[in-house]
Amino acid sequence: MKPMSVAALAVLLFALSACLARRAAGGEPQFEPQAGAVGGQEVFQTGVASWYGDDFQGKVTANGEIYDMRKLTAAHQELPFHSLVEVENLENGRKVLVRVNDRGPFLKGRIIDLSLKAAQRLEIAEKGTAEVSLRVMRWGGAAALATASAPAARACFVQAGAFALRANAEDLLLTLTELFPGLVFRVVAEDGMFKVISAELPSMSACAEVIRELAARHLQGFIRETGGGEEN
């Protein structure tokens, strides 16, 4: 048998590797949600985003809320309600953090319907649609309850989130203000992150009550002692 040339061997190896790669990829989903994951940085989904406004203003969303196009919310077909999703406009790099409170869109090829305010943040309100990527920053229902073993008189505060981007922290702050008008939260810069924390509360039991309120709405939080963190 005539020996195989180096060039022919290289071509054969390349063909085999390509075949194996196709076989390994065959049937694999484009994304696979990790239930309960928090602070995910991997892209969950890519596709076309659209937005809805006046025609739905004041109507009841799928989770029972009243739709307000001036808030940072969105409709998704599968994500649990109250999931926090970072939406990035792949055409201009702009990002916004939205809370899922509705179901949709139901047009083929579209993966998320944004409120008017969120669409304006991404600069797609006039165009109507844009290619986007979704990153799940917090899954609805994955609430972490903190336990308090310290004396009840110890002052404390509640941290509800920490983000590398200030815009994401501000979006969460807007959501918390919407859900908890009686509580005061603010954004602080600490350890190279932008953290969303409550005002100082007089006791651990008061902080634990805030944690319970957050958990009832499928949001996370944990108790911290006072001290550290400067408002920015």
What is residue 111's predicted lDDT score, i.e. its pLDDT?
95
Q: Is the pLDDT of residue 23 over 50?
A: no
Compute the 3-state secondary structure of the chain and give helix, strand, coil in percent, each to the nearest 5. Answer: 25, 30, 45
pLDDT tens track for 149-201: 333 457 888 899 889 999 999 999 998 988 877 788 999 998 899 999 998 88
Q: What is the pLDDT of residues 43-68, one digit of tens each?
A: 989 999 999 988 889 988 888 888 99
Region of 140 (left: φ > 0; alpha: ψ -120 to 50; beta: rest) is beta
- CB-based burial of residue 23 (10 Å sphere; 0-12 exposed, 13-18 middle, 19+ buried)? exposed
81-119, pLDDT tens digit by residue? 888 999 999 999 999 999 999 998 988 889 999 999 999
Per-residue pLDDT at 12 = 42
Domains of the chain in sequence order = 45-138 (2.40.40.10), 156-231 (3.30.70.1070)
Please tell me the predicted confidence (pLDDT) of residue 219. Answer: 80
